[in-house]
Structure 1
Amino acid sequence: MPDSTSSQLLSPDRGIAPAHDTYRDSVTAVFRSLAVASLSAADEPGELAQLAARTADALNEVAEWANDGLSADPTACAWLSYLRWARAAGARPPASSPVPPARDFESDFPLLASPGTPHGDSFTVLATGEFGEVVRPIDPTTNSPEVLTRSIPYGLVPNLGWKALVPLVVDAAAITHGDPEAQTAAVATALSIHASVRARETNADVSHILAAVIEVCAGMTRPAPKTNALLRMVSKVTDRAELGSADGALSRAVTDGTAASSALALGLAAAKVAQVDDAGNQDPQGTVARALDLINGHPATSEAARSVAAAVIAACWGTTSVPTDDGAVVTELDVLARQWCDRWCP
């Protein structure tokens, strides 16, 4: 049973307060963390950072409509945004597929919008031109981990308690990922970011965040026994020896890390262990580095796990926990963060 600190982090009806002094800083930090986790050797954003940026643009579009006094379907906006990404990456959907109306994203963010070489289920399903739903999945087995990273921005949406946030994330994940385990892992990712932002108000740690996420995910109607079991295993990890051992229970459970729930568990475990290691050192940027080092040294390392770990730490500690250099990708992510804050907390 979570303690009172954990219960404050995820409320069914109370969401993140955008007027809080730390909100804008957390948004900037989380967006910057995408570059930390996914920059390629060519200093270009990878597929996962690009998908997360498309999620942010879709949610910004929802906020734009709302600020004009109109409503927009957030799942439809997400689908159209992902279709723009897939077409830019070379997808050629059937003629019957909708052609998304243009937005300024391509001109505003040339690196985040640049053509890439996608390799996950998102691209494969989007290339069909069809719209996946929970009750009508395009492929009920899709379970690749890039769905985690693209779900991160949902955790930053203000004023939504988990009762409203959970179905929003499930529907967005189901556009491409039909496996309930992947949908639940996407929810756990968004809830972890949401709880991490709230943790700045209470000085809660990753253990409290995990307890809150476990409680909400356990009550979901999606059948996701593996994801829930992995979250409980992560809550029992206390040091890097448990995470680093190839023969450890968690390592055996995450197998090769190619499933969404496995990457989620690895990312959250790394964030938790790194934070424990950093206790009292007041070195949040070092905490990110330690978390990524733990993942890089693990047999099941993945970009999605890296993005989860970096984003959770960034949301907890703000821009001090991520690099502040003036790289081109970081600059674009900073602009995207400002756009987000202008639309969601004008």
Structure 2
Amino acid sequence: MTFAAAPLHHARPDFATRVHGTLMGGALGDAFGYLVEFDSLADIVNAHGPSGLQDLAAAGSPVHFSDDTQMTLYTLDGLLDVLEWANDGVGADINACQWLAYLRWLKTQKVPVPGHAPAQPPRWIDAQTVLHHRRHPGNACLSGLGTGEMGTVARPVNPDSKGCGTVMRSAPYGLLPHVEAETVYKISSEAASLTHGHPAARQSSGAFSWLIHQLVIGGLSLRAAAQSAQARAAAEPAADPALLARLDAALTLSANEPLSGDDLTEALGLGWVAEEALAVALYCVLVTESSAASPAEHFRTAVPLAANHSGDSDSTAALAGNLLGALYGEAALPAQWLAVVEAPELIRRLADDFLTLTTGAA
């Protein structure tokens, strides 16, 4: 059975609320999925009932986010570093600033940074001890940064790795205003090479940031933005076939009755690798759009769908949360979930810093 999607009619959110919504939405999705990340679907159902986990607010307070949000915030801080230099009239190497930011994140994980790697003076984010907990960071992120070498497209670290540790941290690139979407794609895909060398990892990261940019800056509808990201991925020289297949499946299947649980991951993958995580998140947001009565209801429907499966639940749910926040702004964020998530004031502070540096006002 096929149905026509009917996007929600809602007031067009402004840039500030989309920035806050993207970052906080990702953290809420991450925290939700992190509760069940390493559980099979059978274990989730046994613990939470036939519908699986449905309500973050029922989990107690505070609910922790994972390395996905940690690294997303360090991506944002790397961009803040670039913007601070730019506002002082000095050009900075964007990818070098991102590398330095991720090396500072590596220290919070109690992983020694090789002596030959460059050191950057601590920044405000480094003193936030809530980010110093080790929340199952990805092996490729740790090993890639742990080499002390700055990975590039031409000289990759972890050349065969396409884990979702790239795409799950890449939403902030899509928030950059006054920047062409093509530049956003390039920045995001090159930053992925700092830890992951496989083309699918780079291209998935670029496509996700492109998608966020089309929602936040371009103001496109959800499906139009998704189709735009699909077209950009297909235009990539040596486009990764697995990424193209997953994006096509997400767009095609989302026009039908919703899949869930292991049926969903059977069709789109478990989400442990970049293109699967992107496809699962995109599918879950698209397929639930027409049945939601409000942005917050869309969030409460799409994020559990993205998390209740046997795969990488926190990453798929975090990406879904990023997309919903980019689409609706803070109107998407369930108030009861905001009340229990870890360190919301830290995320708001970094979002406000970004707004100050990009627009002059938080």
CA displacement at 1:295 relative to structure 2: 1.7
1:284 maps to: 295
1:162 maps to: 181
CA displacement at 1:175 relative to structure 2: 0.5
1:315 maps to: 326
Correspondent of 2:346 among 325, 332, 338: 332
Correspondent of 1:304 among 311, 315, 336: 315
Q: Secondary structure, in 3 states, of the residue corresponding to 1:167? A: helix
2:278 maps to: 264
User: Counterparts in 2 of 1:197-276, with a 5 A limit?
Assistant: 197-198=216-217, 201=219, 204-238=220-254, 241-244=257-260, 246-247=262-263, 251-276=265-290
Correspondent of 1:23 among 10, 15, 18: 15
User: Counterparts in 2 of 1:4-43, with a 5 A limit?
Assistant: 22-39=14-31, 43=63
Q: Secondary structure, in 3 states, of the residue corresponding to 2:289? A: helix
CA displacement at 1:90 relative to structure 2: 1.6
CA displacement at 1:301 relative to structure 2: 4.5
User: Counterparts in 2 of 1:91-110, with a 5 A limit?
Assistant: 91-107=111-127, 109-110=128-129
1:169-221 residue CA offsets vs partner (Å, 9 max, x unmatched): 1110001110000111101110111112146x4xx432111111111111112
1:51 maps to: 71
CA displacement at 1:296 relative to structure 2: 2.4
CA–CA separation in structure 2 for the residues paired with 1:47 and 1:296? 16
CA displacement at 1:157 relative to structure 2: 0.7
Contact 1:295 1:301 in 2 (8 A): no
C-alpha root-mean-square deviation of aligned residues, in Å?
A: 2.1
Q: Which has the higher contact order (CA 8 A, sep 6+)?
A: 2
Structure 2 gaps, min length 5? 1-11, 36-61
CA–CA separation in structure 2 for the residues paired with 1:240 and 1:319? 28
Calculate the TM-score normalised by the size of structure 1: 0.86
CA–CA separation in structure 2 for the residues paired with 1:275 and 1:308? 15
2:201 maps to: 182
Contact 2:138 2:165 in 1 (8 A): no
Matched, 1:293 2:307: no
Matched AA of 1:214: Q
User: How many percent identity over aligned positions?
Assistant: 26
Matched, 1:86 2:106: yes
Q: Secondary structure, in 3 states, of the residue corresponding to 2:166? A: helix
- CA pair 77-182 structure 1, distance change in 2 beyond 3 A: same
- CA pair 117-266 structure 1, distance change in 2 beyond 3 A: closer
CA displacement at 1:113 relative to structure 2: 4.6
Structure 1 gaps, min length 5? 1-19
CA–CA separation in structure 1 for the residues paired with 2:13 and 2:27? 24
Calculate the TM-score normalised by the size of structure 2: 0.82
CA displacement at 1:116 relative to structure 2: 4.2
Contact 1:94 1:128 in 2 (8 A): yes
Matched AA of 2:291: D
